Amino acid sequence: MIIVLKPGSDQKDIDYISEKLEKMGLKVHLSKGEERTIIGAIGDERILREPSLAAYPAVEKVLPILKPFKLASREFKQENTVISVGDVTIGGDEIAVMAGPCSVENMDGLLSVARAVAESGGAFLRGGAFKPRSSPYAFQGLGKEGLEYLAAAREETGLLVITELMDPRDLDLVCKYADIIQIGARNMSNFSLLKEVGKINKPVLLKRGLSATIKELLMSAEYILDEGNKDVILCERGVRTFETYTRNTLDLSAIPVVKSMSHLPIIVDPSHAVGRADLVPSMALAAVAAGADGLLIEVHHNPEEAFCDGPQSLRINEFTGI
């Protein structure tokens, strides 16, 4: 349920109600909006029927949260969540552009892409140091060396770094180098991993699973939010359908649907969605038109020799020309 406090309520009121809820065995989540403060109480529904809270003078009303995802819902927080990463915001008025190679392969190639992304006005350098691959024999990433390359590129260009975390054992290492932690589509339902990134003080980009529904994506986000990390960015990257002309089917309708149900920002990865470089620019524009808060685009200095996902990677001049 959510407890909506009256305008003018102070910290003393918040502390009193929060303490009462915790004594009832409920988990408390606070959302301070421009006009209202909302206290979310998560736990046993039988306890949530407790009527005495509505009688407290500072309480305006007590409402149930009807969605299965509580903290990600518009019922819990009506205002859009705007996430600040350095001087960049995601979920506000600007379109956040994250671009770079699928995997970090070498320093020279990474720097050439990073410079182009920075010169084009991009804010984030994306690149995988740890790569989940369908085959155990395929390139799995450079690991720590790749993270060091990303950090060096950030130092030269000023771009912020987003990179994928696959294993909770690498959490401290990846956090040391990354500005945003990416959870890939294959790990959207890795709830143990989601709980771990929910405990860190760093934004998390959560990709939609290969065949996941929007509800399942939001429920996965709930795992992160419930652990205390409020900086969650959703990512639509296409889902598997019967269509074979593209790698996946980009679900543009997910953008307005998510925005109607959740306060979390959502970006789009057109590269993984279509799997074809020639379709990426038009799908990127379509995503922005549909209301996406940002784009995650694969760019490579020489796609023909890319270690992975070359066919869907834009050349540097193709990216700068969008």
Give tens-digit pLDDT for 47-102: 666 567 788 888 998 888 888 999 999 999 989 999 999 999 999 999 999 999 99
Q: With beta carbons less than 8 A apart as the criterion, state whether 284 and 270 touch.
A: yes
Distance (Å, whole) CA 251 – CA 279: 14
Residues 72/252/204/129 CA torsion (nearest 10 deg): 160
pLDDT of the residue at 50? 59
Under-50 pLDDT residues of the chain: none
Sequence-distant (6+) residues with CB within 8 A of 166 are 130, 132, 184, 187, 193
What pLDDT, on a 0 to 100 scale, did the predictor assign at position 309? Answer: 86
What is the spatial distance between Cα 237 and Cα 300, in angstroms, rounded to a whole number?
Answer: 19
Strand pairing class (37-42; 2-5)? antiparallel
- How high is the pLDDT of residue 102? 93
* Fold topology of 83-320: TIM Barrel (3.20.20)
Architecture of domain 2-63: 2-Layer Sandwich (3.30)
Q: Where are the domains of the chain?
A: 2-63, 83-320
β-bridge partners, 61: 4
* CA 136-235-92 angle, 5° bins: 150
